[in-house]
């Protein structure tokens, strides 16, 4: 049996973290939470998650700099980082990629959309394992077919 994939959710807004964390746990992921960029670096380097979902506007250390530091650290440089931010202006996506983010989603973002993006990222990075797709897992849980 494969271990559950681990996602680090980094957002200073507790309601956002709780919503995404609960949905991801329901979908079979292990979830670690951080509320600022410095805490994100500490948790990422100690736990080394399979993927990081990073808000860019964070207290203490913003998500841009936290991502740069994670991508320059040998322990975490391989971990995909998905920027999830309210900064959806043109150019922010490119700036996020330049900071080291591997994906970009604008808030508001449905949990299902985040989950699909995480699964695509994990399958590209080789971290997806043999997990069934989100649609088949959710379908089974609500009484649908295979």
pLDDT value, residue 1: 59
pLDDT value, residue 136: 42
Check if the beta carbon of residue 97 is closer than 8 Å to that of residue 67.
no
Check if the beta carbon of residue 12 is closer than 8 Å to that of residue 58.
yes
pLDDT value, residue 117: 95
Please give the domain boundaries of the chain with CATH numbers for all domains: 6-133 (3.40.50.2300)
Note down pLDDT in tens along the chain; length 146 residues. Answer: 577 899 999 999 999 999 999 999 999 999 999 999 999 999 999 999 999 999 999 999 999 999 999 999 999 999 999 999 886 655 566 677 778 889 999 988 999 999 999 999 999 876 544 344 444 444 444 444 44
Q: Which strands make up the sheet holding 81-85, listed edge to edge?
A: 30-34, 6-10, 51-54, 81-85, 103-106
pLDDT value, residue 3: 78
pLDDT value, residue 88: 62
pLDDT value, residue 92: 63
My answer on whether omega of the bond before 75 falls inside 30° of 0, hence cis, is no
């Amino acid at each position: 049996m494969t271990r559950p994939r681990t996602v680090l959710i980094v957002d200073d807004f507790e309601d956002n973290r709780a919503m995404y964390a609960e949905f991801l746990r329901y979908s079979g992921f292990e979830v670690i939470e951080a509320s600022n960029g410095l805490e994100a670096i500490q948790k990422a380097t100690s736990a080394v998650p399979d993927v990081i979902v990073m808000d860019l506007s964070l207290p203490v250390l913003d998500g841009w700099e936290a991502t740069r530091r994670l991508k320059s650290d040998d322990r975490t440089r391989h971990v995909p980082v998905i920027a999830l931010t309210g900064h959806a202006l043109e150019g922010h996506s490119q700036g996020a990629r330049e900071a080291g983010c591997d994906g970009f989603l604008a808030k508001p973002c449905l949990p299902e959309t985040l989950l699909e993006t995480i699964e695509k990222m994990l399958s590209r990075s080789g971290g997806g394992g043999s997990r069934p797709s989100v649609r088949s897992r959710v379908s089974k849980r609500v009484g649908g077919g295979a």
